[in-house]
Structure 1
Amino acid sequence: AVALAGVAQTPEAPGVLHCTNTGETTWFGLARAVFAAAGADPDRVRPTTSAHVVRPAPRPAYSVLGTTAWTAAGQPLLPPWDEAVTAAVRLVRA
């Protein structure tokens, strides 16, 4: 939220900006990180393929939000995604 407030005060920021933490992972990796941060066994999370998930529209096999436009607009990088997951789980559990 703090990062979004900063870019909202930058009227010259061009186009679409993705406000996302640094690094990349899969939905599987994210789920495992949430389990681990919550103190649950991440090995309980099982991988699957997109072929097993029904979606209303086709999705690309590899799709990562980039930070190039964000940093080009003079915005600071956010912490790594896994650190953000740990912090968010802590907040939810507090």
Structure 2
Amino acid sequence: MLLDQLPTGQRAEIAAIDWSILPPDEGKRLRALGVDEGAMVSIRQRGIFFGRDPIALDIGRMTVAIRRVHARAITLRAPETAA
């Protein structure tokens, strides 16, 4: 499942990120914020306008806003297999 498909409030583990579809500076920013393989994440809230951007992502003790296009580059483990 991709991150943008995760139901609001449900936790999952990041299994993989397709860094090749993200601009290098944006990938570097996401890594600095802790968005990387193995991190546990949940969606706190989605935007209310067309496209549902941005996505408020809880990761660790932070809430980070990411674009939906970034969320589509992030693959999650099925929630029942996430630790």
Fold agreement, TM-score > 0.5: no
TM-score, with normalisation over the residues of structure 1? 0.26
Larger helix fraction of residues: 1
Structure whose CA Rg is larger = 1
